[in-house]
Amino acid sequence: MRKKIRQIFIAGLVATIPIGLSLYVIFFLISLMDNLLRIIPNRFHPDTLLQFHIPGLGVIFVILLIFIAGLIMKSYIGNRIVNFGESVFHKIPVIRSVYDGAKQVVDRMFVNKSRSFKKVVLVEFPRPGAYTVGFVTGPAHDRIWRHVGQPCTNVFVPTTPNPTSGYLLVIPDRDLIEVNMTVEEALTYVISCGIVQPQILKI
C-alpha cells in the first residue's frame, strides 16, 4: 500500500512540476510587464479608470509601445530623435557600453537574423580534465586571439539549471570538441542537470 501511494505521489510530481514551473514563468513575466504600467499617471491608469485590475494589460501595453516605437523609427523625425538620443548616450561612459552592447545583440538577433548560438561544443571547464557544454557565439576578435597566438572562438558556457547566466570564454579552436547535438537538445540537457539526455550523442 505504501509503495503504491509513493508511486502515485511521484506520478503527480512528474505531471505537476513542469506545468507549475511553466505557469510560474508565465505569471512572472505578466506581473513584470504589468509593473510597467506604473509609468502611466494615476488618473489615467487603467486600474483607476476601470476600478479593478485586469492581469495582462501590461503585455498589451508593451506590445503597443514597441509598435508605436517602430512607427516613430520609420519616420524622418523619429529617426532624428533616435540619432540624437544615441549621441547623448555615447557621451556617458557606462551607459555608452551598455547601450552599444544591447544594440549589437538586438541587431544580430532580429535585424541580421543570425542565430545567437551557432553550434554546441565541449570545453574543458572549470579545470583541465573536466568538460562542460558550451555554445559557440562566433569567432573571437583578432585583437584578442593574437594575444593567445592562435585563432580562438567565443564560447558561452551556461550555468545549471539557469542557462540565462553563464560565462564567456575565449577558447583556442583546437581545444573545442564539436558535439552532434542541436542547441535545443543542449539547453534541455543543461536545464535538466543532465537528467534528460539527447537520443543521439556523438563527439
User: How many C-beta atoms surround the C-beta of residue 153 within 10 A?
Assistant: 22
Domain 119-191 has CATH 2.60.40: no
pLDDT for 50 equals 78
Q: Is 51 left (phi over 0), alpha (psi -120 to 50) or beta?
A: left
pLDDT for 75 equals 80
**Widest distance between CA atoms in the chain:** 74
The residue ranges of every structural domain in the chain are: 119-191
pTM: predicted TM-score of the whole model, two decimal places: 0.54
- Residues of the chain with pLDDT below 50 are 201-203
pLDDT for 202 equals 44
pLDDT for 108 equals 58
Q: Where are the beta strands (DSSP E) in 72-183?
A: 119-124, 131-139, 152-158, 166-172, 177-178
pLDDT for 155 equals 93
pLDDT for 173 equals 92
CA angle 116, 120, 123 (to 5 degrees): 115
pLDDT for 203 equals 44
Burial (CB count within 10 angstroms: exposed 0-12, middle 13-18, buried 19+), residue 133? buried
User: How many C-beta atoms surround the C-beta of residue 163 within 10 A?
Assistant: 18
